[in-house]
Amino acid sequence: MLIPRPRPGDSAGIRPSEITSESVYWNRRKLLQAALAAGVTGIGTAWVREAGAVTDLKVQPNPKYSLSDPPNSYEDITTYNNFYEFGLDKGAPAENSGRFKPAPWTVTVKGEAEVTGTFALEDILKPHTIEERVYRLRCVEAWSMVIPWDGIPLADVLKRFKPTSKAKYVAFKTVLRPSEMPGQRSNVLDWPYVEGLRIDEAMHPLSLLAVGLYGKTLPNQNGAPLRLVVPWKYGFKGIKSIVEIRFTEKQPPSTWNISAPHEYGFYANVNPNVDHPRWSQARERRIGAGLFGSRVPTLMFNGYEEEVASLYRGMDLKKFY
Amino acid sequence: MPSTQTIRRIIKPTLFVACALPLLWVVCAALQMGGATLGANPVEKIQDTFGQWGLRFIVITLAVTPLRDWFNLPWLVHLRRMLGLYAFFYVLLHFLTWLLLDQGLYWAGVLEDIGKRPFITIGFAALVMLIPLAVTSTNKMMRRLGRRWKTLHRLIYVISLLAVWHYYWQVKADITEPLIYLAIVLVLLGWRAWKARPRQLAAAPARES
């Protein structure tokens, strides 16, 4: 249904970057114009520097894990998202992330694993093939997108650190850099942002460590250079700009759960039957549907029920929201 | 003080146009004119813009009386009806955007939201309360209702608190802005309470024990 086996007439086998190369092209035009403006007026240089950091990736499409829905435009994906480290509005990450430096980058691996330490991002990525997967992203605010991510199955990376039998959970941490992330200078959330998964969730083949989208490295506003993508959970589980991975025996804390425990649980599985205390989760607004595109029904586990429902067998999902 | 002529011929028409600017902006952005844009989520943008201006006009309307008192500007009262009607207008547009564009007239969802989601319930209640105020805003109605008109229009005190609460309740994490609105509303309402305090009590000498 949602993770389609390729069917006749299905576009899943085509690289989304091929489909939408035009929007990327226009985006480049904008960058060039901005570069020109920056040269003339001397402002906006930070933004240009950031934009220049996005480079092409060598990616392998994975049709098995790609929706056939048309993906959102590069512009929508990179100008409308939540990344509170750069501000509260959904346009703020694109506007305020120009000074962020995603390279060089290291990730520290800690806790219940045989291989721990601090590793350069290149070394973590080196042995893996970067896959392109088209996933649906459902925000807890009841809007959604379809995004062609480029990344590595999280399980493949985690296994290299040889987690021990005590590793029941995996905790992630975002970088703390108030000087480059203006949102971290206010205390709307407890910084740095932290998230976590149960080990079986983390090892599920759908869980992805993304390094790019649309065949290019992640722009700063989307969580450069490394972020988590867990398509059956609400978007806030997809922690961005990861600097630490820790294997733990106990359930690790997660930022939104700390902020409002009655509204945001540790699991945060997309579930149309369990409403947010303040709004309905039964339907969602698809970004890009335009002014008159009405809401569409939200699917159980964001449409990945067949793949992940077994992880939660016997659990009361109203209690473990 | 400006003459009645000035108020009628210059100030009121200017204010009328100025108050319509947020709507004009939304229309331009929807038609992608003049560089204005509604962004990736146009429905949310329209709904938020109208909601925000509805709240602002409620607060501005509420500010007329205190501003008149503080700065001795009696003529300001002549502008209050227009400001109040604009408040109703933007709140109504906010509601209609939600009903038509966001919910797409999906009645099951609409009724459930109004009944079950407290922040929508109080927002809807505020809109309903604004209706009699808009209907009775004409000179004829003022005359017909006499003293009761003033009592009825005190509903705006409740409405302003509901509107701020509605805003506060839908914010995800940063409550700074709703709290600023709350502070302003409390000052504007507090001033009225202060003005209406029982004088003899304040003047009563301390009783000796």
DSSP letter string, A225-256: T-EEE-TTB-GGGS--SEEEEEEESSPPP-HH
- Per-residue DSSP letters for B65-102? HHHHHHHT-GGGGGGHHHHHHHHHHHHHHHHHIIIIII
What is the overall mean pLDDT for chain A?
Answer: 88
Tell how strand A131-138 and strand A60-61 pair up: parallel
Closest-CA residue to B26 (of B40, B42, B46): B46
Residue with tokens 């809007």: A143
Identify the CATH number of the domain in which residue A173 sits: 3.90.420.10
pLDDT in tens, B38-67: 999 999 999 999 999 999 999 999 999 999
- The verdict on residue B205 lying in a domain is no
Give the pLDDT confidence score for residue A23 in this predicted structure.
47
Residue with tokens 């996005």: A54
- The verdict on residue B198 lying in a domain is no
- The verdict on residue A317 lying in a domain is no
* DSSP 3-state of A274: coil
Is B13's pLDDT higher than 90? yes
The secondary structure element, H or E, covering residue A286 is strand A283-286
- The verdict on residue B102 lying in a domain is yes
Q: Which residues of B touch A72 (CB under 8 A)?
A: 40
Residue B122 sits at the chain A interface (C-beta within 8 Å): no
Q: How many domains does chain B contain in total?
A: 1
CA gap A151, A228 in Å, rounded: 9
- Which of B101, B106, B113 is nearest residue A291 as measured by Cβ atoms? B101
- The verdict on residue A251 lying in a domain is yes
**Sorting pLDDT into bands at 50, 70 and 90, what band is B204?**
low
Q: Which residue of A has its CA nearest to B46?
A: A291
Q: Does B118 contact A278 at a Cβ distance shorter than 8 Å?
A: yes
* DSSP 3-state of A60: strand
Is A81's pLDDT higher than 60? yes
Residue B112 sits at the chain A interface (C-beta within 8 Å): yes
Per the structure, the complete domain to which residue B61 belongs is given by 40-193
Closest-CA residue to A317 (of A258, A196, A233): A233
Indicate which of B26, B32, B38, B41 best probes the interface with A, i.e. most A CBs within 10 Å of its own CB.
Answer: B41
- The verdict on residue A93 lying in a domain is yes
Q: Which residues of A touch B117 (CB under 8 A)?
A: 278-280
- The verdict on residue B132 lying in a domain is yes
CA gap A105, A119 in Å, rounded: 9
Is A15's pLDDT higher than 50? no
Name the DSSP class of A135.
E
pTM score, two decimals? 0.83
- The verdict on residue A57 lying in a domain is yes
Is B166's pLDDT higher than 80? yes
Per the structure, the complete domain to which residue A117 belongs is given by 16-312
Q: How many domains does chain A contain in total?
A: 1
CA gap B176, A32 in Å, rounded: 37
- The verdict on residue A4 lying in a domain is no
Residue B40 burial (C-beta neighbours within 10 Å; 0-12, 13-18, 19+): buried
- The verdict on residue A109 lying in a domain is yes
- Which of A186, A278, A294 is nearest residue B170 as measured by Cβ atoms? A278
- The verdict on residue A191 lying in a domain is yes
CA gap B80, B96 in Å, rounded: 24
ipTM: 0.83
Mean pLDDT of A58-68: 93
Q: In the structure encoding, which two tokens stand for residue B149, read together?
A: 């008109």
Single-letter residue type at B145? L
| Cβ neighbour number for residue A90 with a 10 Å cutoff | 22
Give the pLDDT confidence score for residue A20 in this predicted structure.
45
Q: Does A280 contact B109 at a Cβ distance shorter than 8 Å?
A: yes
- Which of A91, A188, A283 is nearest residue B109 as measured by Cβ atoms? A283
- The verdict on residue B209 lying in a domain is no
Is residue A137 within 8 A of residue A147, CB to CB? The reply is: yes
b/e per residue B155-185 (b: at least 16 CB within 10 A):
ebeebbbbbbbbbebbebebeeebeebbebb
Closest-CA residue to A271 (of A318, A215, A310): A318
- The verdict on residue A11 lying in a domain is no
Percent of chain B with pLDDT over 90: 80
- The verdict on residue B88 lying in a domain is yes
Residue A106 sits at the chain B interface (C-beta within 8 Å): no
Cis geometry, peptide bond prior to residue B22 (ω within 30 degrees of 0): no
